[in-house]
Amino acid sequence: MTNDESEREKKNQRPLDKKQKIEDGTITSTATTIDGAAYKKSLYAARDDVDKLLIEKACGPIMVRLAWHDSGTYDIGLKDEAWPNAGGANASIRFKDENSHGANAGLINAIKLLETIKEQHPLVSYADLYQMASARAIEYTGGGPNLEIRYGRQDAPTSFGAEGNLPDGEARSNTNKFGGTSGSTSTEDTTAGGHLRKVFYRMGLNDEEIVALSGAHTLGRAYKDRSGQGQERTTVTDGTTIQKFANGTTASFHTGGSSWTENFFIFDNSYYTEVAHAVTEGDTKSSEELLKLSSDKAIFKDDHFRPYAMIFRNDLTAFYDSYKKAHKKLSELGAKFVVHDTDDAPLVLEGKNAFGQRRGSAVIKKSINMANELEK
Ligand code: HEM
């Protein structure tokens, strides 16, 4: 270790790429140093701008998908290889090689939106920015639980090579199977549940975490011109139904696609109620206007997933508790934390006053009532 390096370590500083540009998958960087306190200040400022962006562009849901697809390449079987070869939350998705993977269709829009924030706050790593935008879509505009995620991630200098580590919602028409063999580990399976396990176990996640994370589909939509799933538009997404953020203000969103829930900017457990309608025999409440992929139905059909899905459908607080833990874990998969708070503590931001009401007792009561009705 040189004198400079040892000095930096004492001061809790680290080398950081000051300016990184997306240029056809190449990265230009200028090394500089920064301490934890300065980095944290930048994070707070970036968070304010992210919050504004989420409202102005009504782009929360795609941010959640972006962060998840960045994390979701992670292969725990590769964890002993040199970083960042195992994949994970390292912003490798910003490179064209990776964001052009079929599963990532459309995510370039989210990457471009966040580039404007990166320009304003160059110290903040892309990897942190992606996870921040996702967390704020849930806890701020979505009115969900505070996720208390950790910051200080380093950006990967290259894309994650293997395509095929993310899950399929439906079986492939050429093989009649879910997933394929092209990823870092095969995820191919004849059942949706088996495929989900192959994907999420590869990341080191378990059944409860699979079911909790699937609940993120309470937000957002699927599009014909991206994943090919759902409908061009529905009565929920065609602009005739007003969509609101958690504080009750109207979301000015681009129309189209199929949502899983009626209020697709609000983070609650309505996803489980809607999917339950679709898989419960004789239930006439299932809405054709709302999407249910085979992977969504699997969380109620699979014997090991169902107990969790039932709990989350019946109990918003239980869902929030479980979701929060699973999301935090997902956001840290394969991440290299190189900036720390004082005393080397993990860098976590103070909570901010909720943008809207927390989804309180009224919503819990409503979901329990709906669940009770279903049991009849
Ligand atoms: C369990 C396996 C999963 C499958 C098969 C799956 C599949 C999909 C598909 C097909 C879409 C539509 C994409 C489009 O057409 O633009 C989508 C959207 C979305 N996914 Fe998932 N997903 C899964 C898990 C997750 C997880 C774990 C999260 C987050 C924790 C998540 C968050 C989202 C969000 C928020 C959207 C909406 C994006 C938007 O509105 O632009 N998904 N997912």
Question: What does the pLDDT look like over 261-306, one tens digit per residue?
Answer: 999 999 999 999 999 999 998 888 989 999 999 999 999 999 999 9
d(CA 327, CA 267): 13
Q: Which atom of ligand 1 is nearest to the CA of 326?
A: 30
Name the pLDDT band for 8 (thresholds 50, 70, 90): very low
In the structure encoding, which two tokens stand for residue 263, read together?
Answer: 């209020």
Name the pLDDT band for 20 (thresholds 50, 70, 90): very low
What integer pLDDT is reported at residue 342 of this predicted model?
83
| CA torsion through residues 274, 263, 149, 160, sign | positive
Residue type (1 letter), 49: D
d(CA 307, CA 300): 8
Over the stretch 44-53, which tens digit does the pLDDT of each residue have?
A: 999 999 999 9
Positions marked catalytic? 69
Any residues with Cβ below 6 Å from ligand 1, and which? 61-62, 64-65, 68, 106, 167-169, 196, 213-214, 216-217, 219-223, 226-227, 229, 293, 295
First and final CA of the chain: distance in angstroms? 69
Closest listed residue to residue 359, CA positions, set 275, 260, 249, 266: 266
Ranges of beta strands (E only) in the chain are 13-17, 31-35, 150-151, 221-222, 258-259, 347-348
What is 14-65 written as a DSSP string? Answer: EEEES----BTTB----EEEEEHHHHHHHHHHHHHHHHHHHHHS--HHHHHH
Residue type (1 letter), 190: T
CB burial class (10 A; 0-12, 13-18, 19+) of residue 327? buried
Buried b (16+ CB within 10 A) or exposed e, 112-129: ebbeebbeebbbbbbbbb
Nearest CA residue ID for atom 16, ligand 1: 222
Closest listed residue to residue 247, CA positions, set 357, 362, 135: 357
Name the pLDDT band for 354 (thresholds 50, 70, 90): low
Nearest CA residue ID for atom 23, ligand 1: 214
d(CA 288, CA 141): 27
- H-type alpha helices, 121-263: 126-136, 192-202, 207-214
Over the stretch 201-227, which tens digit does the pLDDT of each residue have?
A: 999 999 999 999 999 999 999 999 999
Q: Which atom of ligand 1 is nearest to the CA of 199?
A: 2
Q: Which atom of ligand 1 is nearest to the CA of 221?
A: 40
Distance 85 CA to ligand 1 centre (A): 24
Over the stretch 23-52, which tens digit does the pLDDT of each residue have?
A: 333 333 334 456 899 999 999 999 999 999
What percent of the chain clears pLDDT 90, i.e. is strictly above it?
81
Does the domain made of 15-375 have the CATH classification 1.10.520.10?
yes
Nearest CA residue ID for atom 3, ligand 1: 167
d(CA 237, CA 243): 9
Distance 217 CA to ligand 1 centre (A): 6
Q: Helix, strand or coil for residue 181?
A: coil
Q: Mean pLDDT across the stretch 155-167?
A: 96
Name the pLDDT band for 321 (thresholds 50, 70, 90): very high
Q: Tell me the domain boundaries of the chain.
A: 15-375
Distance 77 CA to ligand 1 centre (A): 24
d(CA 62, CA 223): 11
What integer pLDDT is reported at residue 13 of this predicted model?
34
